[in-house]
Structure 1
Amino acid sequence: MDTQHLRKILFNGVWKQNSGLVQILGMCPILAISTSVVNAVSLGLATALVMALSNLVASSLRNLVPYEIRIPVFILIIAALVTVIDLAFNAYLHSLYLVLGIFIPLIVTNCIVLARVEAFAAKNGVIGSTLDGAAMGLGLVLVLGVLGSFREIIGQGTLFSGIEMLIPSAHALHVLPASYPGFLIEILPPGAFISLGCLIAARNWLEAHNKAKAAALPTQTARA
């Protein structure tokens, strides 16, 4: 597999086929857990790890699994990986585990995870499949990070709230003055929908702008 193809897989996962902004998949964790950047990125990284490893395992076993039972086998692989991560969070990041709660086990039901295993890993080699899972996961992490940062700053005036659950000596940053009263709707479900809608609109505008710029370039060159 050449470098250009690997770059294409990475670009597709992070931008062109971004699970949160383009495919609009996995909305439950994106909207529910993005009240702070720490919670959002932590769950995003856990999901990205599951996606990369499940794609790797599924691609390795794709020629050994009968076509008729491939979906149950893929689900078992994903469930086993999620169980390992769930137990690891409980053992080593217990405070964060209590905050994320049911959303770690719910990675099993995240449609983007099974979708990439079925659509890509079951038909491609190990290296490309692993990169595809990692790229899709990275795209999700970026969306969660931006969304979580935006909602936390507007809603509470802070950034990295809860970072002490990961780094005991660290503290949250007060981006806005201490007198800032907060904007409650931003950390409630309506704020999640509005903020995600703004991100989707911004991405669509940027894509349209780039296409218009690319279309105008040949005309300008011809006139010159």
Structure 2
Amino acid sequence: MSYRELTWQGLWQNNPALVQLLGLCPLLAVSNTVTNALGLGLATLLVLVGSNITVSLVREWVPKEIRIPVFVMVIATFVTVIQLLMNAYVYGLYQALGIFIPLIVTNCVIIGRAEAYASKNPWHHAAYDGLMMGLGFLIVLVLLGGIREVIGNGTLFDGAELLLGDWATALRIELFAVDYPLLLAILPPGAFIAMGFIIALKNGIDRYLEQRASKPVKEVTRARVTSQG
């Protein structure tokens, strides 16, 4: 599979959050702000790339009978490293994300790519696949977090200093004043609703592109029939 195809698959055609519908538990629970979504998305991306590379490098020496436990151990190692780094350098965000950082180990996106792609391809292809799948997951996570934060609190990048440092307080944007947060948007039910609209939008775009691509074929067919007649 070419790098172009891997990019298209990861970011759009086979997006893990929009098409495969994997990893929805942290995606829906944590994405109440852009900062939380970005933090968890970056952590997931790093684990995905690291585990894909490692699985690809050791695939020749891992017996098929125990490959899944070995893959989980590899993923757990990377998650532990990321967890310790976040605890050391972004402690506020580490506390905000809570249990969902160690739960990356059970994220079906990561174990799925390790089994379906990394264990069957060279390490550089596996690394790029992990990068694109991770970016696809990250983009959806941040988009969902932005929608929920704007509707729920009327802000964007609230708490950005937890991830980027004190200077990032200047990134906070208050779009409109809210006396009381809209709980429907902040709580998981709002995430389900927003996610449904995002998936519907993607499906609508795909349908439009398919119809647009089929029009020239139909026009050529009609032109041939007319000329023959």
Aligned position for 2:185: 186
Name the aligned partner's letter for residue 96 of structure 1.
Answer: L
Q: Which runs of 5+ in 1 are unaligned?
A: none
Q: Is the 8 A contact 1:44 1:141 kept in 2?
A: yes
Which structure is larger by alpha-carbon Rg, 1 or 2?
Answer: 2
Percent identity among equivalent residues? 48
Aligned position for 2:200: 201
Deviations 1:10-40 (A, max 9, x none): 1101111111100001011010000001100
The number of equivalent residue pairs is 220
**Large movers: runs of 4+ above 6 Å:** none
The within-5 A match list for 1:59-208 is: 59-165=56-162, 166-171=164-169, 172-176=172-176, 178=177, 181-208=180-207
Q: Give me the TM-score of the superposition, normalised by structure 2.
A: 0.92
Within 2, Cα distance between the matches of 1:50 and 1:60? 15
Within 1, Cα distance between the matches of 2:7 and 2:159? 31
Within 2, Cα distance between the matches of 1:19 and 1:223? 39
Within 2, Cα distance between the matches of 1:29 and 1:217? 43
TM-fit CA distance, 1:67:
1.2
Q: 1:57 aligns with which of 54, 57, 60?
A: 54
Q: Give me the TM-score of the superposition, normalised by structure 1.
A: 0.94
SS in 1 for 2:62: coil
TM-fit CA distance, 1:222:
5.1
Within 2, Cα distance between the matches of 1:168 and 1:152? 20
Q: Is the 8 A contact 1:156 1:183 kept in 2?
A: yes
Q: CA RMSD in A?
A: 1.3
Q: Which runs of 5+ in 2 are unaligned?
A: 224-229
